[in-house]
Structure 1
């Protein structure tokens, strides 16, 4: 008997360990699926959303895996420019992440939340979350693991202050961000440095500090060239050309803008193309080259129409999406109402049936009592 109990206990322990092992394997597989989906999230965001929700809703997955699943859903909504929905899921991820001991993941979530508030132009909330990011990153022992979030946070703060025309403060944060990027040893550094230097250059241009602006834009071009990032090279060339235009160096500006135009051909960024064409027709006008002025003005006008058409399409898509969501909600409400009605009907029938049984049993009891009374009277 004693041996049987031991065997039973060992069997239960092995079963528990097997379940834990299966859960671990399942979570690892889910993590791999999430990682693979992140790579193609911009190509097929809806697929990423479906996958993320499926993994999150499976409670057999670890809390960390389910948190990452919510982050994937948020990223997919970001790729669709639905920042409000993206924020909704990253907030859920933040709440869930409080139950795990993974400071790096928590820092990443805080940073992503700050970015989404920045995208929604809720700048005070954005700065609040960026400062939380910085506080956690600064006390984390391994700077290489969290340094990119610290550098990104400083840079995004620079964006916010630049957009609010406070370039003096913005420049302080761009400097801090650049300093942190230079401490890192990963492939993202050159791209991020190019973006930081480009925005720094724009600030110096607004402050009419042209020497520093030229220096910043040249550094932006250098780092973008290292990664062969044509869009970033074109943006920096456009920024540098704007400085040359302000200085009256129209021919130098034209050379740069023509190069930027070639670089941006396969990028497909309408805003970038529009600003390049605008710079070209303005500079050709300044040197009285009417033929080139007219050609680039027409390209600029056409691109503006394409931008408005794209914006209208985005608005139409948003309206259609809202209608679809409302339709889904209405269908869900109808379905719930039908279910409630069905259950109400079932409960009503059960009550009627129970009442019938009670009445029937009462009648049987009454008949039995009558018979007993009659028997008693007959005995007398």
Structure 2
């Protein structure tokens, strides 16, 4: 949803270069919505033979966007950073300099750094030179800026302002060329998404059905078809028509299944797993949940690397990355960032003071720290578990009633695989069921869990469930919209009350309080 910069490129080219390059770049742009790999190969071939600095920036932006569509944010930032030297950049047109700054804002949004993205866009939209021009190039970049601003506002749940910015974006678009038409289609998809979040579901459905009919007329734009179907499935999910929702998701997936639109695929896999979970189709639930988990892990890793890369890039090359913004604005941005860091440090200190006076706050702090460490450390291997278990042996004497070391290692390996497959979310899972599935004696299984996990089976599986749903609430804003009763069912609890009780015992707060805290942190 955030891969939208390059729509303006071919328009710029018409004003800045000859017709041959305009046609070639337009073709490269269209390939973004057909196959990112083809787009990259095609654009790189053009880049090799073209030494015009403005042409090269246009092509680099197209390639950067193609990598972003694949979810390869490291390469996306890397391509973006390959600018010409400062002397050449100073000679670029105003619009291509603005496009460079827009690309930086788009990179920030791809990496979930919404505040940084929004500050750059606000600065560009406040420039009279951009807003008061009367030629097509300026109109397209302005439309793009309002569109990206709308997405940033939507992330922060400011849906009325998000819709207002989409309307402003449409005002700068006509139907004179294909780029403008695609922008309007994308705006329709985003508008429907925001309407659904405002409980205007019927209006959203009508808009999405109309949009889907339009995008299916051009069968080459597979990305737009899949994105529209994915959004339309949400309408049926909210109506609890899980079968229809799954059918739309399967339809959308079929258009991009063999294409590397990995970020969109991850969303579809996750939504399919939710719908098949609701339909009690365990086979398909586990199938898509596994695909989602594997792809999400890969994307999260790439996002973290991309953030480190872009932070280093901005720190060492602020003049290049911000293009035509003057030094005074850079100092102001640095000052704001420093102030923000001081505020965060103060909040952390206050939190540390408060936690020492309240047991629940202490438990909350410990829970967040535990989750952070679990995300940072690599997954524990069977060898690690076995070695750790070796050091916990208390008595070297052989006990005929005690489980053997080999059998214990075998059970630990099976438990590790069971955790990776997230089968603890099964509501019917008990110690007896698990022992039957593993082909392990119940007594042995209970003994291994007590010794290696330091808790009984019920505490062990409840901790897994709560940590899993807490991570989803923290990393995926979609879950913040769900009722606690659905979260309880999704994580394998038999009742709302049981889920709430266990959640508070593990985290030190109720699910509602936890959701409020996560929501607050996302709006800072």
TM-score (norm 1): 0.58
Per-residue Cα deviation, 1:84-125 (whole angstroms, up to 9, x for no partner): 4455445967x744435x444344334334323433444455
C-alpha deviation, 1:129, in angstroms: 3.9
Structure possessing the higher radius of gyration over alpha carbons? 1
C-alpha deviation, 1:303, in angstroms: 0.9
Partners of 1:136 and 1:207 lie apart in 2 by 35
C-alpha deviation, 1:155, in angstroms: 0.5
Q: CA RMSD in A?
A: 4.3
Question: For residues 47 and 219 of structure 1, do their structure 2 counterparts lie closer, same or farther at Cα, with a shift above 3 Å needed?
Answer: same
1:112 matched to 2:103: yes
Per-residue Cα deviation, 1:263-313 (whole angstroms, up to 9, x for no partner): 3333343444444344445445545xx4xx123213213312441564488
C-alpha deviation, 1:159, in angstroms: 0.9
- Structure 2 partner of 1:179: 171
Question: For residues 230 and 49 of structure 1, do their structure 2 counterparts lie closer, same or farther at Cα, with a shift above 3 Å needed?
Answer: closer
Question: For residues 298 and 121 of structure 1, do their structure 2 counterparts lie closer, same or farther at Cα, with a shift above 3 Å needed?
Answer: closer
Per-residue Cα deviation, 1:43-88 (whole angstroms, up to 9, x for no partner): 2787777767xx4xxxxxxxxx334435544554555533544554
Among 251, 262, 284, the residue aligned to 2:254: 262
Q: Secondary structure at the match of 2:199?
A: coil
1:188 matched to 2:179: yes
Bigger Cα displacement from structure 2, 43-52 vs 132-141: 43-52
C-alpha deviation, 1:256, in angstroms: 2.5
C-alpha deviation, 1:249, in angstroms: 3.1
Partners of 2:172 and 2:235 lie apart in 1 by 27
Question: For residues 139 and 71 of structure 1, do their structure 2 counterparts lie closer, same or farther at Cα, with a shift above 3 Å needed?
Answer: same
- Structure 2 partner of 1:22: none
Contact map agreement 2:54 2:96 (CA 8 A) in 1: no
Partners of 1:275 and 1:120 lie apart in 2 by 16
Partners of 1:282 and 1:114 lie apart in 2 by 32
Contact map agreement 1:167 1:203 (CA 8 A) in 2: yes
When the two structures are aligned, how many residues end up with a matched partner?
276
- Structure 1 partner of 2:242: 250
Contact map agreement 1:86 1:116 (CA 8 A) in 2: no
Contact map agreement 1:130 1:153 (CA 8 A) in 2: yes
- Structure 2 partner of 1:342: none
Partners of 2:288 and 2:237 lie apart in 1 by 18
Question: For residues 36 and 255 of structure 1, do their structure 2 counterparts lie closer, same or farther at Cα, with a shift above 3 Å needed?
Answer: closer
Question: For residues 243 and 91 of structure 1, do their structure 2 counterparts lie closer, same or farther at Cα, with a shift above 3 Å needed?
Answer: farther
Contact map agreement 1:111 1:153 (CA 8 A) in 2: yes
- Structure 1 partner of 2:53: 66
Per-residue Cα deviation, 1:226-252 (whole angstroms, up to 9, x for no partner): 332233222222222212221233343
Higher helix share: 1
Q: Secondary structure at the match of 1:301?
A: helix
Q: How does 1:1-380 map to 2 (within 5 A)?
A: 39=28, 42-43=40-41, 55=51, 65-73=52-60, 75-76=62-63, 79-80=66-67, 81-82=73-74, 83-86=76-79, 88-89=81-82, 96-99=88-91, 102-131=93-122, 133-134=124-125, 135-142=128-135, 144-181=136-173, 183-228=174-219, 229-287=221-279, 290=280, 293-308=281-296, 310-311=298-299, 314=302
Structure 1 unaligned regions, length at least 5: 1-27, 56-64, 322-380
Per-residue Cα deviation, 1:346-377 (whole angstroms, up to 9, x for no partner): xxxxxxxxxxxxxxxxxxxxxxxxxxxxxxxx
Partners of 1:168 and 1:128 lie apart in 2 by 19
C-alpha deviation, 1:200, in angstroms: 1.6
Contact map agreement 1:84 1:120 (CA 8 A) in 2: no
Structure 2 unaligned regions, length at least 5: 1-16, 29-37, 68-72, 310-524
Partners of 1:128 and 1:312 lie apart in 2 by 24
Contact map agreement 1:45 1:79 (CA 8 A) in 2: no
Partners of 2:274 and 2:167 lie apart in 1 by 32
Contact map agreement 1:157 1:170 (CA 8 A) in 2: yes
C-alpha deviation, 1:199, in angstroms: 1.7
Q: Secondary structure at the match of 2:41?
A: coil
Partners of 2:266 and 2:101 lie apart in 1 by 34
* More contact order relative to length (CA 8 Å, sep ≥ 6): 2
Contact map agreement 2:269 2:288 (CA 8 A) in 1: yes
Partners of 2:58 and 2:108 lie apart in 1 by 15
- Structure 2 partner of 1:341: none
